Structure 1
Amino acid sequence: MPFGISGDYLLYDQLLAALPGVAAVAVNGTAHPGAYSGIPMDDFFAVPLADRYFEDYVPGLVVECGGVPVSEASIVEFAAAFDPHAMHVDPVAALAGPFGSLIASGWHTTAVMMRMMVDNYLNERTSLGSPGVDTLRWHRPVRAGDILSARFTVVSARVSASKPDRGLVHTRIEVVDQAGALVMSQVMMNLILRRAV
C-alpha cells in the first residue's frame, strides 16, 4: 500500500489495547480494522464480504468500521505526491498557517476512507465501479495522531432499467475522528452486480 498507509495499518494492532471498543476483523484472510463499535464488519451484513451482491445493500443499513491512525509521515508522503501545499508537507511552515499545525490533504482523508470501503464494504468481484460522488465535504482538518473511522449508510438501492444484471446503490459516507467529530462526508454511487437473475 502506498503513502504510508501500510505502516498506519501495522500500528493498528498496537492501538487496539489503548482504544476501547475497537475490533479487528479478518477480510480475505488479512487482519483489517473492524467496527469502532466493537462489532465485526460482517455482522452488519447477512453475508460475508466475498458473497455480497446488490441485494445485500438494503436501504437503511448502517455499517461502521475503522480505527485507522493517521501519522505525520503518511500526511507528508501523500501530500508530497498529490497535494504539495505547505500545510500538508512542511510541519514548521504549517505552524504559521491557517490551521496552526500540519493537516492531511482532504484527498488523503478520502483515500483512507476508500481503503476502508474496499476492505470492508464493497465486494471487488461484484462492484462494477462508481459513476460519481455527490456532496463531498471536508468538515474539519485531520491532524497527525488522529484515528479515522467510517460510517456507511445505504440511502437507496434500485435495479438498473437498462442493465437488469446490476443495481445502483447510493451510500452516505461519514468519516469521523477518535472523538467522533465529523471530518468528511459524501454520497457515493456504486454499480453492483445482482445475484443471478
Structure 2
Amino acid sequence: MTMWFEDVQVGARASFGHYVVTRAEVIAFAEKYDPQPFHLSDEAAETHFGRLSASGWHSCAMTMAMLVEHLKGTDQASLGSPGIDELRWLKPVYPGDTLRCETEVLEKRRSASRPEMGITRNRMTVFNQDDVAVLSFVSNGLIRTRPV
C-alpha cells in the first residue's frame, strides 16, 4: 500500500531504529569526513567531550541509516527533501552508545506551484540508550499527492 500525501496525519508519531555506535566506525568516518582531533583519538578528545565522540555529521548519517531501514519494504510516495531546519547536536554520541529515533509530523501543506506534491515537516529526535536526546532536527519532505 502506497503512503500518499493525503495519508499523512499531522501529529502522527513513530519510534524506530537500533544503531550501535562502534569506535572503528567513529574513527573511520572522522578520518574521511570530519578529521578533527577529538573525533580521532581519546587523547585529543580530552576536551569538553571527555573522550572520543562521533562527528555530528556522522550522527546525522547514522540517523539516515535508521530511517531508511525503517522505511524498507514500504511503498513510499516520497520525492526527497529540500532540506532540514533547526539541526541541533544536543549531546555527544560516543562509541558504545545505542541510538534510536522518534518522529512526529508537525505540519503538512499542498504545494502551491506543484499540485502533484505536498510538503511535510517532521521533527526527528535521536536518543541514546539512556533515553537522552542527542540530536534533533526538523525535516522537510516532498511527497506525491494521490493520483486522480
TM-score w.r.t. length of structure 1: 0.70
Tell me if the contact between 1:146 and 1:177 (Cα under 8 Å) persists in the aligned partners. Answer: yes
CA distance in 2, matches of 1:103, 1:124: 36
Equivalent residue, structure 1, for 2:30: 79
Deviates more, 1:141-150 or 1:127-136: 127-136
Task: Specify which structure has the bigger relative contact order, considering alpha-carbon pairs within 8 angstroms and separated by 6 or more residues.
Answer: 2
Equivalent of residue 138 in structure 1, options 89, 92, 111 = 89
Q: Pairwise CA RMSD of aligned residues?
A: 1.7
Q: Per the alignment, do residues 171 and 121 of structure 1 end up closer, same or farther by CA in structure 2, a change over 3 Å counting?
A: farther
The count of corresponding residues between Structure 1 and Structure 2 is: 147
Give 2:53's aligned residue.
Answer: 103
Partners of 1:104 and 1:141 within 8 A in 2: yes
Deviations 1:89-129 (A, max 9, x none): 113322x2221110000001111111122222486852212
Letter in 2 for 1:103: S
Does residue 154 of the first structure (1) align with residue 133 of the second (2)?
no
Partner Cα separation in structure 1 for residue 78 and residue 12 of structure 2: 18
Q: Which letter does structure 1 place at the counterpart of 2:59?
A: T
Give ranges in structure 2 of 5+ residues lacking alignment: none
Counterpart position of 2:67: 117
Percent identical residues: 39
Structure that is richer in strand per residue? 2
The corresponding residue for 1:25 is none
Secondary structure, aligned partner of 1:93: coil
How far, CA to CA, are the matches of 2:67 and 2:8 in structure 1? 13
CA distance in 2, matches of 1:54, 1:120: 18
The structure with more helix, counted as a fraction of residues: 1
Decide whether aligned partners of structure 1 residues 63 and 142 sit closer, same or farther in structure 2, where only a CA change above 3 A counts.
same
Closer, same or farther: CA 124–136 of 1 in aligned 2, 3 Å: farther
Q: Which runs of 5+ in 1 are unaligned?
A: 1-46
